[in-house]
Amino acid sequence: MKTVAIVVLSGGLDSSTCAYMAKKSGLNIIPVHFNYGQKTLKKELKCFNDICDSLNLPHKDRYEIDLPFFTDVGCSSLTDTNMIVPTSGINSSVPSTYVPFRNGIFLSIASAVAIKHSATQIHIGIVQEDGSGYPDCTKEFITKQQECINEGVKPSQKISLITPLLNKTKKDITLIAIKLKVPIDKTWSCYKNELVACGLCDSCRLRLDGFKKAGLNDSIEYITKVLDT
């Protein structure tokens, strides 16, 4: 019997690549998507389903989990309508796009789904080395989260957190995505817009930089392309 793996899948380039890597490894994938009041919620949900379609994952196994409380909590320019997604370039501090303990919440919920499906792995496409400076996107956080999960579930249900992109650069990820034939045009990374990517938010900048360094063209449309991050 195939190993069952939960994949946290936003529909962005990273998580879609992560899902393709899991599929290529021969795992039986259960994809989990979160609607957490993010400004690009509708677009991400469409991309999630498009990527699931392209991976031939049945609708009955897809989890679209609504977490409307994130809007009440706010405190992030991704979810709070009173805050503007920054477009002036990446700096070294934790950016305003950090969503309070998002990955902790996502991975905790993914653990409950893992228990249901007797999944022994949860895959998440977080990037540390070339990422956005989020505290919940580090090796140290993942180690603590895995220990926490395995302390809080039944002793018979051990779960491993798998982060295949953790130490990859955006260039590496772009090259892996192309190699695995991830449908790039069905993924979405922009934090700000749902129709045409802004090209200026941190996520667009990191994605564009990855394509540039890989010597490739991104097939989605951008309002502006700032190639120097």
Q: According to the binding rule CB under 8 A, does residue 82 interact with a copy of itself?
A: no
| Contact status: 202 vs a copy of itself (CB under 8 A) | no
Choose the stretch contacting a copy of itself; rule: CB under 8 A; options: 14-22, 46-54, 64-72, 220-228: 64-72
Are the beta carbons of 98 and 134 closer than 8 angstroms? yes
Q: Residue 44 region, left (φ>0) first, then alpha (ψ -120 to 50), else beta?
A: alpha
42 binds a copy of itself (CB under 8 A): no
CB nearer a copy of itself, residue 25 or residue 108: 108
Total residues contacting a copy of itself (rule CB under 8 A)?
42
Least gap, CB of 118 to a copy of itself (angstroms): 10
227 lies in the site for a copy of itself, by CB under 8 A? no
| CA dihedral (86, 91, 95, 101) positive or negative | positive
Maximal CA-CA distance, the chain: 51
CB nearer a copy of itself, residue 154 or residue 181: 154
Q: Note whether 48 binds a copy of itself by CB under 8 A.
A: no
Q: Give me the phi and psi of 35, to 5 degrees please.
A: -95, 105
Q: Name the CA dihedral angle for 78, 103, 96, 65, rounded to a multiple of 10 degrees.
A: 10
At closest approach, how far in Å is the CB of 190 from a copy of itself? Answer: 23
Cα 198 to Cα 224: distance, rounded to the nearest angstrom:
6
Q: What is the DSSP string of 11-42?
A: SSHHHHHHHHHHHHTT-EEEEEEEE-S-TTHH
Interface positions, 85-114, toward a copy of itself (CB under 8 A): 94, 98-105, 108-109, 111-113
SS3 162: strand
User: Out of 14, 44, 130, 136, which residue is the one contacting a copy of itself (CB under 8 A)?
Assistant: 136
**Cβ within 8 Å of residue 44, ≥6 positions away:** 10, 11, 12, 33, 35, 38, 188
* Contact between 158 and a copy of itself per CB under 8 A: no
**Contact status: 81 vs a copy of itself (CB under 8 A):** no
Q: Summarize as ranges the residues that interact with a copy of itself (CB under 8 A).
A: 63, 65-70, 72-75, 94, 98-105, 108-109, 111-113, 115-116, 135-136, 138, 140-141, 144-145, 147-149, 151-155
